[in-house]
Amino acid sequence: MQVPLSDPKEREQKDVSGLLASSFHASYLEDKLQMDEVLAQMSTFLLAGQETTASSEAVLMYLLATHPADQERLRAEVQAMYAGKAVNEPLEPADYDKLPFLNAVIKETLRLYTSVHTVTRHVDVDEVIPLAYPVTLEDGSKTTTLPVQRGERLLLSFRMYNRLRAVWGDDAAEWNPNRFLDGRPIHSNIGLFGNVMNFSSGVRGCLGWKFAVVEMQVVTALLVKTFEMSTLPSAKVKMLPNQFLLMPVLEGKEDEGPQVFLQLRAID
């Protein structure tokens, strides 16, 4: 029996590449994208959808390997979810949202080691930006506003916000997934996921943030369920910044590019 394909017009409205193609062929100038704009968007999808998620997942595995108690707690949570399934039955997408410690681990990894550490924004109009917390200037005075002028470029640090003690508490520089579960107040309501800024916020937030989170949920759950992870003493990982990304590299082997070495033991 042949299964009919869904309406191409319907697929266009749900598929990013379809939307880009539709915009390129749009009849009205205000709806039309130029080819360089389409290519720029596709480059963004490839970079943001592959390198950043892969880097974050590698760091997450390393953090679990260096925090065996958290690794075991996560494994117990995942195995309990699988125990309610038939043999070889995969988890449903909704199941991952019912795993609180899994999501806390993902949020804490993204918070502590954001793969995109800085973004730029260009100022369109003269404006005075209010600041949530006072800033000390070079002359020692404090200010709660930031005047900006049209044409200026702002560098916005996700890493700085994700480790801001005023938002996350005195242990902001430490790994602690339980911060998302213990009921402590997080003094911020921005960000698309877990109040972290990895996916930016507002109308220019990352289009693929939900897909990236689902990728990390699925991969993390399967790896933790299948393997016990530990570190190699000679393969210590650190985060190395390039222009806008933080990549995991091995200490003393930075020139070899992004990599994480772990020992995996299959779980019976």
Contacts of 119 (CB under 8 A, 6+ apart): 155, 156, 158, 200, 244
Q: Is 267 helix (H, G, I), strand (E, B) or coil?
A: coil
Rounded to the nearest 5 degrees, what angle is found at the Cα of 97, between the Cα atoms of 93 and 103? 120
- Beta pairing partners, 142: 136
Question: Is 206 labelled a binding residue?
Answer: yes
Which domains are assigned to the chain? 47-116+163-266 (1.10.630.10)
| 128-178 residue pLDDT tens | 999 988 999 999 999 999 999 999 999 999 999 999 999 999 999 999 999
What does the alpha-carbon distance between residue 20 and residue 26 come to, in Å, rounded to a whole number?
Answer: 10
Q: Is 28 helix (H, G, I), strand (E, B) or coil?
A: coil
Phi–psi pair at 197, nearest 5 degrees: -105, 15
pTM: 0.81
Neighbours of 244 (CB within 10 A): 14
What does the alpha-carbon distance between residue 261 and residue 148 come to, in Å, rounded to a whole number?
Answer: 45
pLDDT for 34 equals 85
pLDDT score of 118 more than 50: yes
Q: Pull the structure tokens for residue 25.
A: 């062929």
Phi–psi pair at 177, nearest 5 degrees: -60, -25
pLDDT for 17 equals 73
pLDDT score of 186 more than 80: yes
pLDDT for 44 equals 65
In the chain, % of residues over pLDDT 70: 91
Q: Where are the beta strands (DSSP E) in the chain?
A: 118-122, 127-136, 142-148, 153-157, 227-231, 237-241, 246-250, 262-266
> What value does the CA radius of gyration of the chain take, rounded to a whole number of Å?
22
The band of 41, judged by pLDDT with boundaries at 50, 70 and 90, is confident
Q: Pull the structure tokens for residue 109.
A: 């990894």
* Mean pLDDT over each residue of the chain, to the nearest integer: 88
In the chain, % of residues over pLDDT 90: 59
Contacts of 143 (CB under 8 A, 6+ apart): 131, 134, 135, 137
Q: Is 268 helix (H, G, I), strand (E, B) or coil?
A: coil
Q: Please name which of 148, 180, 163, 175 lies closest in space to residue 117, comparing C-alpha atoms.
A: 163
pLDDT score of 100 more than 90: yes
Q: Is 115 helix (H, G, I), strand (E, B) or coil?
A: coil
